[in-house]
Amino acid sequence: MAVPPEFIEDLRQRVPLSDIIGKRVKLVRKGRRFSGLCPFHSEKTPSFSVVDDDGFYHCFGCGVHGDAISFLREMDGLEFMEAVERLADMAGMAMPLGAPQDPKVTQQRKAALDILEITASFFCAALDREDGKDAARYLLNRNLDTNILKTYRLGYAPRGGLRAALSAKGFSDADMLAAGVLRKSDRDGSVYDYFRDRVMFPIENRQGKVIAFGARALGDAQPKYLNSGEGPTFSKKAVLYGWVQAREGLRRQLPLVIAEGYMDVIAIHKSGVAAAVAPLGTALTPEQIVLVWKLHNEPVLCFDGDVAGQKAQMRALERFLPLLEPGKTARFATLPAGKDPDDVLREVGHEGFKNIVATARSLVDTMWDGIMADHDMRQPEQRAQFWQAIRSQIRNIGNNQVRSAFSDEIENRIAAMRAQMRGGTMPMATRTVRRPSTGMINRHKALLALLLAHPVLISGAFETLSMIDSGDERLEMVKKAAIDALISDPDLDAEALNYHLKGLNFTDELADLTGDDMRARLPFDPATLDSEAAEAHLGELVALIKGKSGVFSKVTQQRN
């Protein structure tokens, strides 16, 4: 319904802005204004200003500016009308009459929300009881501390007792059935607790109210995962798990990861590396993509590196295309095959996962490489089919400006590919548009290939290696990761170092640096060199790179 402007202005006048913001931010009065630490970005010196007379806030650090309604919308993820209703409640004012609502539907929804809130508390308490010890042990084994349990309100659904607890609060079986916490038997019509002997994950809306549950079986019960059915409070296509907690994380300017499951979201949040959300057991819907963009303009989606994972990645990418807008996009990260974010965090640690997120690839690069992977680019008819396929995908972009920008980018890449073919070289998947000269890259790659085969050389050349920059972002990241690994463990051998780097999502780079094609181009085989020869080659390569002169093929006259 439409709200008269004078009503909104009256709301702003009745509730001082400093009262609203003061509940979230410690404010100090300075004359006619208040000052405090900005809630929208991380800072140590107050740059956030609130002026009641004007009804506006402004941060001189990050530039955010707004009024009471925009503050509630940003902080609590509310729609405009939801923020107006919240403000009206604070002011003790009734909302203007609009279209009449069915009082029965309104009452049913309120009862369901009350039941779900009480149920969440019941499950939390059950986790501390004797019958909840297996669930508590499961969560402890996943390294979840008390703070995380409280943040996500995790709990345990016992084999019975919920119905009696809710009945004691005055709720009928009909209320509980409508809220989705009871089920009726098809066999005899009896009712029973829907969730039994399961670890419970409350699902909250953007206001932090419990609207449904996800559940994981502790034993062999099937299905292993179980969600609330849709009802008066819950439509799974329009909700993301962890939205409220992610919003808090993003105030620390963290990246946002779209994960697959509840435990992935919780593990990522606990790591402090990124904020995280997840769809509820289904592919991302258009409604959820729009919700994600309310949190972050460039979320990162993580997928397995196996064939199935890469196909899932392309399907997810295709769902973003019709919704892309200027400044609204997504990036894509590839995880080790068969691993989810929780696995990766446990195996390579926070820094390893942070690197995977930081090096996630752009949507256009992911689309280009993903479609190219299905075509044999040595065959002219396959190249033509590739061009046709990628142009077809671009036509799915809804926004005219974004579609035009993508078209320009893809046509430039196709033109570059044609030029490569005329020059007699095969096109390869595009990583970055700008690269340093080929000769220097070859030297840097040769250096890195040598170091990967002989990690002991890294320990004796930290300072020298740190001063050399290839200009290639990915090569530099591999080099830095290798140096960091040797600083932490100087005894790492080649096999252990390569395993460590694969865990940091450098599989493609390692394949390039240690593969047959690289060895064929080098005048020596790094893997077969003894330590003395390897050290000699290191000195010669460093001299060539620093001098930027000489021909790489003359580093040695022949292979050892």
pLDDT digit string, tens, across residues 25-47: 999 998 889 999 998 887 888 99
Per-residue pLDDT, 551 = 38
CA angle, 369 as apex, 293 and 485 as ends, to 5°?
80
Q: What is the pLDDT of residues 468-509, one digit of tens each?
A: 888 788 888 888 888 878 777 777 888 888 878 887 878 888
Q: Is residue 523 scored above 80 in pLDDT? A: no
Per-residue pLDDT, 424 = 57
Mean pLDDT of 189-199: 94
Per-residue pLDDT, 105 = 66
Structure tokens at 105: 């539907």
Rounded CA separation 293/277 (Å): 12
The more confident residue out of 343 and 460 is: 343
> H helices of 96-152, where?
103-126, 133-141, 146-152
Measured CA distances, 461 to 335, 447, 451, 455 (Å): 31, 12, 10, 10
Q: What is the pLDDT of residues 118-148, one digit of tens each?
A: 999 999 999 999 999 999 999 999 999 999 9
Per-residue pLDDT, 314 = 93
Mean pLDDT of 508-516: 85
CA 168 to mean position of chain CA atoms = 42
DSSP calls for 344-406? HHHHHHHHHHHHHHHTPEEHHHHHHHHHHTTS-TTSHHHHHHHHHHHHHHHTT--SHHHHHHH
The more confident residue out of 278 and 504 is: 278
Q: Is residue 421 scored above 90 in pLDDT? A: no
pLDDT tier for residue 550 given thresholds of 50, 70 and 90: very low
Structure tokens at 1: 């319904």
Q: What is the pLDDT of residues 42-61, one digit of tens each?
A: 788 899 999 988 889 999 88
Per-residue pLDDT, 438 = 37
| Mean pLDDT, the chain, integer | 85
Q: Is residue 425 scored above 70 in pLDDT? A: no
Per-residue pLDDT, 398 = 92
Fold of 5-91: DNA Primase; Chain A (3.90.580)
User: What CATH code is assigned to 368-422?
Assistant: 1.20.50
Q: Is residue 375 scored above 80 in pLDDT? A: yes
Q: Is residue 183 scored above 90 in pLDDT? A: yes
Rounded CA separation 476/482 (Å): 10
As beta bridge partners, residue 214 has 201, 227
Structure tokens at 257: 């990861």
When mean pLDDT is compared across 212-226, 268-282, 436-450, 497-511, the lowest value belongs to 436-450
- CATH architecture under which domain 103-234 falls: Alpha-Beta Complex (3.90)
When mean pLDDT is compared across 157-161, 394-398, 530-534, 550-554, the lowest value belongs to 550-554
Per-residue pLDDT, 423 = 67
Mean pLDDT of 318-334: 94
- Percent over 70 (pLDDT), the chain: 91
Q: What is the pLDDT of residues 279-314, one digit of tens each?
A: 997 789 999 998 899 889 999 999 877 778 888 899
Q: Is residue 560 scored above 70 in pLDDT? A: no
- Percent over 90 (pLDDT), the chain: 44
Per-residue pLDDT, 431 = 37
The one-letter code for the residue type at 390 is I
Q: Selecting from 3.40.1360.10, 3.40.190.150, 3.30.70.100, 3.20.19.10, what CATH number does the domain 243-359 have?
A: 3.40.1360.10
Per-residue pLDDT, 103 = 64
